[in-house]
């Protein structure tokens, strides 16, 4: 857009034919928008403007916005590397799920995208591969490992999806305020445990409590089968 002065390259053809954009550049720009302003802020026009390109140029790389969203998921998932997996199966599952939770927390919009369209792309399936491997090695049979992984995946995913978009403290205050507005006779248990209920709507302690209960449940199932 602005006149550029390239001192090191004085070629006969037009100075900068608009540096060709790659699909990766586009996906990165889209991910940045989505992380900063949420999934509703992601429009083709805005992505194009962010990389200083005509809107229609994006359609040379992606057939539709949906396909661009797939690429955004890939970009975000690929960025989160799997953790080192050592120790007991329980240690390994814990590490894997915490890594997934961290990655989803870093890219909250992933969850919303995931809901609109199931993600069965190679990058995302690495997570399933790792989980199935741990559970099979631990002694779960094929069906149990599959269901067990699904349980863990569902929890991690649901937790991220339910995580407040505002700050956690604000969300807790809102929850407490909502409970305070209820008739206490009709909602005695919420009224009595309002602070704890509001505290548990998110955060690391809540995540870990749930994860450990699930691991307890899987472990007791494994032991019951062994005897």
Partner DNA sequence: ACCTGAACACCGTTCAAGT
DSSP-derived secondary structure letter, 187: -
| Closest among 200, 209, 31 to 103, alpha carbons compared | 31
Rounded to 5 degrees, what angle do the CA atoms 225, 226, 227 make?
95
**Rounded to whole angstroms, how far apart are CA atoms 41 and 127?**
28
- The region that residue 203 occupies, defined by phi over 0 for left and psi between -120 and 50 for alpha, beta otherwise, is left
CB atoms within 10 A of CB 46: 14
**What gap in Å lies between CA 167 and CA 140, rounded to an integer?**
39
Query: Shortest Cβ distance from residue 74 to DNA (Å)?
Result: 18
Number of neighbouring beta carbons within 10 Å of residue 178? 12
By CB under 7 A, the residues from 14 to 33 that bind DNA are: 18, 20-21
The stretch near DNA (CB under 7 A) out of 47-55, 105-113, 181-189, 193-201 is 47-55
Cβ–Cβ < 8 Å for 176, 194 = yes
* Residue 214 binds a copy of itself, judged by CB under 8 A: yes
If one asks whether residue 117 binds DNA (CB under 7 A), the answer comes out as: no
Site residues for a copy of itself, 74-113, by CB under 8 A, read 111-112
Residue of 193, 204, 226, 227 interacting with a copy of itself (CB under 8 A): 193
Q: Which of 120, 185, 226, 227 is in the footprint of a copy of itself by CB under 8 A?
A: 120
| Contact residues: DNA, CB under 7 A | 18, 20-21, 42-46, 53-57, 59-60, 64-66
Interface residues with a copy of itself (CB under 8 A) are: 111-112, 114-116, 118, 120-122, 125-126, 128-129, 132-133, 136, 142-151, 153-155, 157-159, 161-162, 164, 171, 174-175, 178-179, 182, 186-190, 192-193, 195-197, 199-201, 205-206, 209-210, 212-218, 220-221
């Amino acid at each position: 857009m602005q006149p550029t002065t390239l001192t090191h390259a004085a070629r006969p053809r037009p100075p900068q034919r608009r540096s060709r954009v790659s699909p990766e550049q586009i996906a990165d720009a889209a991910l940045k928008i989505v992380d900063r302003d949420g999934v509703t802020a992601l429009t083709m026009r805005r992505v194009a403007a962010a990389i200083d390109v005509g809107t229609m140029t994006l359609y040379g790389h992606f057939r539709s916005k949906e396909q661009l969203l797939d690429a955004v998921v890939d970009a975000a998932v690929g960025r989160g590397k799997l953790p080192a997996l050592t120790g007991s199966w329980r240690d390994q599952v814990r590490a894997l799920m915490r890594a997934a939770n961290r990655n989803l927390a870093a890219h909250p919009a992933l969850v919303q995208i995931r809901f609109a369209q199931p993600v069965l792309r190679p990058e995302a399936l690495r997570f399933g591969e790792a989980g199935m491997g741990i559970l099979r090695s631990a002694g779960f049979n094929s069906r149990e490992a599959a269901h067990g992984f699904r349980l863990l995946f569902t929890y991690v995913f649901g937790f991220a999806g339910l995580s407040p978009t505002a700050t956690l403290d604000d969300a807790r205050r809102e929850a407490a305020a909502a409970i305070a507005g209820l008739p206490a006779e009709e909602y005695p248990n919420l009224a009595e445990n309002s602070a704890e209920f509001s505290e548990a709507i998110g955060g690391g302690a809540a995540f870990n409590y749930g994860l450990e209960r699930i691991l307890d449940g899987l472990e007791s199932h494994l032991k019951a089968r062994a005897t």
